[in-house]
Amino acid sequence: MSITLPNFDNVLAAAKRLQGHAHRTPVLQSRSLNERLGLQVLFKCENFQRMGAFKFRGGFNALACFTPAQRQAGVVAYSSGNHAQAIALSAQILGIPATIVMPHDASPAKLAATRAYGAHIVGYDRYSEDAMAIAQGLAAECGMTFIPPFDHADVLCGQGTAALELFDEVGALDSLFVCLGGGGLLSGSLLSAQARAPHCQVFGVEPQAGNDVQQSLRRGERVRIATPQTIADGAQTPMVGALTFEIIRRHVSDIHTVTDAQLIEAMRFYAERMKMVVEPTGCLSLAAVVQAAPQMQGQRVGVIISGGNVDLARFAQLLCDPLPSAAA
């Protein structure tokens, strides 16, 4: 079955829709990190995006494309947290009713924020129930439009605007490291990189415990794994999307993996040296850069920080406990 892939023009169209709604997030550097690693690292800080993560870009772009009938009927989505908040906030802005399917063990902060944006939440067990099936069932029953968290052209093109802004601000990069769960941010970033910096190597980074995309790339087809046990809750996806994988397969340089312990070290660096709260999933990209730095000496390296939505109590626990349970 052939798949119609979005292109860079779709990313540019998403950027126009997002004008006046999404923040143009800052690009920051750390002198001490640059000196330590022998690189120039440029951080695209999507932890400062509306609702605290890059997901707002894709969520708003998708809902902004709705017909009047779709807007009236409402939207349904599933998410562990950031896509949930993105759809809920975007729906609130655009006056669209929203229902979000979220795991019972989702971050309390993400649950609270999603409710505060006015969405109706339907809970499920992420280890025994199929969130997509629940969401699609609600869409069929109630006439709502289902917007998945990553495997959707409007969503991934919206996500690609973060890398577009980065390239437009800093110019060509030698390498770009992108946090990877279902592949929306990575596939959108690849579309932007192909147009703005075709010689830049783009790497996806996923948890070592949940390397489904790495396995899929090696095998040449999508691989499904058990729900990963990792502190990177935004990357607990069992299988990459069909649309996102096709773009990744064609354009990505490689996939890196990092451990939960490396994520905690990256969280600590952000907090201590850059004075930022970054959620574990958002630390994937930096953790991989630190790991790969000896092979990239002298490079200009982009790092997309995907988000900063983490409960402060959980944040403190992770930084104070050197070996927390990955499943906690």
Residue with tokens 């006046």: 20
Strand order in the sheet with 145-146: 120-124, 98-103, 75-78, 145-146
Question: Facing residues of 40 across strands?
Answer: 300
Report the alpha-carbon distance of residue 211 to residue 256 in Å, rounded: 9
Catalytic residue among 2, 30, 79, 80: 80
Could you give the 3-state DSSP secondary structure of residue 98?
Answer: strand
Element (H, E) at 202: strand 201-207
- Residue count (the chain): 328
Q: State which amino acid sits at residue 226.
A: A
Largest CA distance in the chain: 57
Report the alpha-carbon distance of residue 186 to residue 191 in Å, rounded: 9
Q: State which amino acid sits at residue 255.
A: I
Catalytic residue among 44, 55, 175, 285: 55
Tell me the DSSP string of 161-217.
HHHHHHHHHH---SEEEEE-SSSHHHHHHHHHHHHH-TT-EEEEEEEGGG-HHHHHH
Q: Is 55 known to be catalytic?
A: yes
Report the alpha-carbon distance of residue 29 to residue 44 in Å, rounded: 9
Q: Which residues contact 53 (CB under 8 A, 6 or more apart)?
A: 46, 47, 82, 85, 86, 234, 279, 282, 306, 307, 308, 309
Catalytic residues: 55, 80
